[in-house]
Structure 1
Amino acid sequence: MREAKRYVLAAGGTGGHMVPAAALAAELTKRGHRVALVSDERGVRFPGLFEDIQTHVLPVGRFSGKNPLNWVKAASQMWRGRRMAGELYKSFDPDAVIGFGGYPALPALLAAFKQGVPTVIHEQNAVLGRVNRMVAGKVDAIATAYAGVERLDSKYRRKTHLVGNPVRAEVLVLRHRPYPMLDENGIFRVLVTGGSQGASILSQVVPDGLAMLPIHFRRRMQVTHQARIEDIDRVRAKYAEHKIPAEIATYLPDMPEKLAWAHIVIARAGASTIAELTAAGRPAILVPLPSAMDDHQSANAKEITEAGGARTIVQKNFTPSELAKQMQRLGLDTRGLENAALRARGCGRPDAVRDLADLIATVERGHADAPERGEHAR
C-alpha cells in the first residue's frame, strides 16, 4: 500500500492558477494523500474546485507601483504570511509545497525554504511568471506547461521538466469523445469565453462580427457567450438585434459540457483556456490579453496557432470585419474545421496531472530526480 503523504498547494486566486492546482489536488487525493490549499480570499472561494480540501488564507503583498510605502506594506504582509505558513507547516507537516504562481504562493514557498520542506513550482504560461522567477533558483524542481518557456534561465535546465498544464477530469474525458458532427445544414455552435475574469472586448466585437457572416451561415448559428455582468444586457440586445440565438451568462458552471457542445471557441489565450482547448480538441479564434504581464498570452497562443488548431488576432486588429473574415476561413469549410480540431488536440498533454504528481513524488528533502514520464523542457 502506498504511503500517504501530505502536500500544500499554493496558488494565486485566478482561474489560471487555481484550475491546475485543483486538478493536482484531485489526483493526489485519489492516490491517498492529504492536501491543503494556501491562497487568497478569491482562491479559497473559487466555485466548485476545492470544496473538500482544507484551505487557508494568507496575507498577500503585491509588489507593484512606484510608491515606496506600497512596497513596505507589501513586504510586511508577505513576511506575516510567511510566519502564518510556518505555523501551518508545524501542524500539517507537509512532505512538499507546490507553488502555482501568483503572489499568494510566495509566502508559502518562503516558509518552505526556511523550514527545509521540498518545493516544486508549476508554470502554466509560456513565459515564467514573476513569483516563479523570484523562487526558481531555490526550488527543487520546476514543472512547465510548454517545451519552451521564456524568461526561464538555462542554468535551471537540469531541474526543469515538461509536464503540461493539468485540466479538470471533466475536460480530459472530452478527449475521448468525437468532435461534434457538423454538416452544411446543421447547427453551428459557437462558444465565447473571456476566462474567469471575462473580457469586454469580446462582448464589444463578437456579436457584430458574427452578424457580418453570410446569412445562410448566420441562420444556423447558435452562441453561448460568457460576458461580464456590466456587459450582459448590451450583449443580449446585440444578439437579439442580429437575430442570432444566444445564451448569455456571467459564469458557465458547466464549462466542460459547453466545450463538448462547441464547434469553435472564441476566447482569450489564458493558460487554462489553451490547456482545455488542446485537451478537448477544439479549434479556436484567440485574442490574447495585451496587458498580460510579459505578453504571456501571445506566447501561450503560439504553439496551437502554428500547429493550425487556432487563429490568433491581436486585440488592436480585433474588429467585427476581421473576426468575420477569420470565421469564414475557419468555419465555412467543414473538413478544415475538423482538421483544425485534430491539430488543436495534437497540442494537448493529457497526462499532465499524472506527470506532475509523479514529479512531486520524486522530490525528497534537498533533492529531485527526473520523473520516468514527461520530458525535459527544451
Structure 2
Amino acid sequence: MNQKQNTRGEVVLLAAGGTGGHLFPASALARRMKEKGHDVHLATDVRGLNYLSQIEEMPVHKLAAATVFGGKIWLLPWRLVKIVFALIQAVHLVLKLKPSIVVGFGGYPSFAPALAAQLLGRQVLIHEQNAVLGRANRVLCRLGAHLATTFGATRGISKSTQARTRKVGNPVRNDVLTAARGGYRYLNASRPFELLIFGGSQGASVFADTVPAAIGELPADLKARLRVVHQVRRVDMAQTLAAYGEIGVYAEIRDFFEDLPARMRRAHLVICRGGASTVCELSLLGAPAIIVPLPGSLDQDQAHNVRELNEKGGAWMVNQSEFTTEWLSGKLNELMLNIELLNAASARSLSLARPDADLRLCRYALSLIKTENAAVREKKQ
C-alpha cells in the first residue's frame, strides 16, 4: 500500500465547546479531513447543536459539559460529579468510535473526550485559539497532548509542551475565505464611509451606548458620509435605533447578521471585541478595526489576542475603560479624514493572515496519526 492509502479512512473525533469560536475552526478541519476520505465525528454540548446548520455535516455526539474552574466554591462537589459523568460518557464514546486521533478545540465539552482519549492511549491534539493557553488545555498538555496554536507567542505553554507545539493559525469558515477574495475596499473621499459594529453576547451594550453618542459629536459633513451597520443585543435594539435616529445617521441594526463576513469585507472600519476568531477573520479580510477587549475575561486572553495586530498597525486596541464617547469621536474624526491610515492598516492586517490554517492543522493531525500507525506496526513486527 502507498502512503495515501495508509492514511485514508481514519476515524477522527473533534471535540469543541458550544460556541462559534470553538465550532467554526472544528468545522474547517472537518471539511479538510473529509476531503481526504476520513470519517469525522464531532463531540459537543447542547449549545453546539444550535450551530449544526452553520458547520460541516458530520455525526454529532452530545456530551455533558463541566469544569472545576471558576464558579461558586460550594458548587464544587456538584461540578466534580458532572465531570465524572462527562468523562464516563467520553470514555464510552472513544471506546465505541476507536478514533485514531481526538482533536480538541477548547470549551468545557472538549476536555472530557481529550482526557478519555489520553487515558485510553489515543493520540490527542489540542488547538488553542487564544493567545493564552486555556487552563483545561494546560492540564491536557501536561498529560502529553500535542498542541497547535493560533498565535506565535501564546502564553502559558510549559517547556515540556513546546517541543510538541506548532503554530498553525486559526481555521475559519468557508464564507470568510470567500469574502476575503474580494479584498479590502480602499477608501476615497467620494465614497460613503462604511462602519461596522458588532460584539459578542457578552458586553455588546458598551457599543450600543458609546458609538451613537460618539458619532453624534462628529462634524455634519462626516456624519453625512457615514453608513452604519450595527449588530446589537435584542434588549438594546430599541435604545440603539432611537440613538441613531436622534443624530440623523443612516444605520442598519439587527441582532444577528448571517452574512457578517461579507459585511466585514465591505466595511472601511470595524468596531468589535477581541475574540481569537474575530482577530483572525479581520486579518484575512484586511479589515482595519478598533478593538475593545472584553474586560475581566479569563487570563485577559482577548487583550493578548489583539496585541500583535495592534503592534503591527493593523488595528487600534483600546481598553473598555478608555473607550469613551470623547475618545471614539476623536478617533473616528482622525480616521475619516486620513484615508491613508486605513489603507495602510488594511495592508498590515493582511500581512498577518493565515488563510491555510485549516490545511496546516490537518497536516499536523495526519502526521500524528502516521506516527502512531508506524509505532503500532513496529510493535507487531
1:16 aligns with 2:21: yes
Corresponding residue of 1:327: 332
Change beyond 3 A, Cα 1:265–1:309 = same
Partner of 1:344: 349
- For 1:103 and 1:366, locate their aligned partners in 2 and report how far apart those are by CA, in whole Å: 28
Please state if 1:124 is matched with 2:138. Answer: no
Aligned identity (percent) is 36
Give the secondary-structure state (helix, strand or coil) at the position aligned to 1:77: helix
Equivalent residue of 1:63, what SS? coil
Match of 1:202 among 190, 198, 207: 207
Say what the alpha-carbon RMSD is for the aligned residues: 1.9
Kindly tell me: are residues 139 and 233 of structure 1, through their superposed partners in 2, closer, same or farther at Cα, counting changes over 3 Å?
Answer: farther
**Equivalent residues in 2 for 1:155-174 (5 A)?**
155-174=160-179
Corresponding residue for residue 377 of structure 2: none
Match for 2:292: what amino acid? V
| Residues 73-126 of structure 1: CA deviation (Å, up to 9, x unaligned) | 112111211111222223322111011111111111111012111100011111
Q: Given the alignment of the two structures, is residue 309 of structure 1 paired with residue 293 of structure 2, yes or no? A: no
Return the TM-score normalized by structure 1: 0.93
Q: Tell whether 2:116 aligns with 1:111.
A: yes
Indicate the residue corresponding to 1:375 in structure 2. Answer: none
Hey, what does 1:297 align to over in structure 2?
302
Local SS of the residue matching 1:125: coil
For residues 96 and 331 of structure 1, what CA distance do their matches in structure 2 show? 50
| TM-fit CA distance, 1:354 | 0.5
2:105 to 69, 93, 100: 100
TM-score by length of 2: 0.92
* Correspondences of 1:350-361 after superposition (within 5 Å): 350-361=355-366
The answer (yes or no) to whether the contact 1:159–1:368 under 8 Å persists in 2 is no
What is the SS of the residue equivalent to 2:246?
helix
User: Partner letter of residue 283 of structure 2?
Assistant: T
Which residue number corresponds to residue 379 of structure 2?
A: none
Amino acid at match of 2:59: Q
Structure 2: distance between partners of 1:104 and 1:265: 31
Structure 1: unaligned runs, 5 residues or longer:
370-378
Pair member with larger Rg: 2
1:67–1:192 distance in 2 versus 1, CA, 3 Å: closer
Distance across 2 between alignment mates of 1:51 and 1:271 = 20
Q: Give the structure 2 partner of residue 241 of structure 1.
A: 246
Q: Secondary structure at the match of 1:231?
A: helix
Q: CA deviation at 1:366?
A: 7.9
Q: Does 1:264 pair with 2:281?
A: no
| SS of residue in 1 equivalent to 2:307 | helix
| Partners of 2:199 and 2:232 within 8 A in 1 | yes
Mean Cα deviation higher: 47-56 or 247-256: 47-56
Greater share of helix: 2
Q: Judge conservation of contact 1:16–1:272 (CA < 8 Å) in 2.
A: yes
Alpha-carbon distance between aligned partners in 2 of 1:288 and 1:67, rounded to the nearest angstrom: 25
Candidates 197, 212, 230, aligned match of 2:235? 230
The 5 Å alignment of 1:278-289 reads 278-289=283-294
| Counterpart secondary structure, 1:45 | helix
Partner of 1:213: 218
* Alignment-derived partner of residue 34 in structure 1: 39
Count of matched residue positions in the alignment of Structure 1 and Structure 2 = 369
Query: Does 2:184 match 1:179?
Result: yes
Q: Distance in 2 between matches of 1:224 and 1:57?
A: 35
Task: For residue 365 of structure 1, report the CA deviation from its aligned partner.
Answer: 8.4
Cα deviation for residue 69 of structure 1 reads 4.3
Aligned-partner Cα distance in 2 for 1:197–1:365: 41
Post-superposition offset of 1:13: 1.6
- How far residue 61 of structure 1 moved from its aligned partner, in angstroms, is 1.5
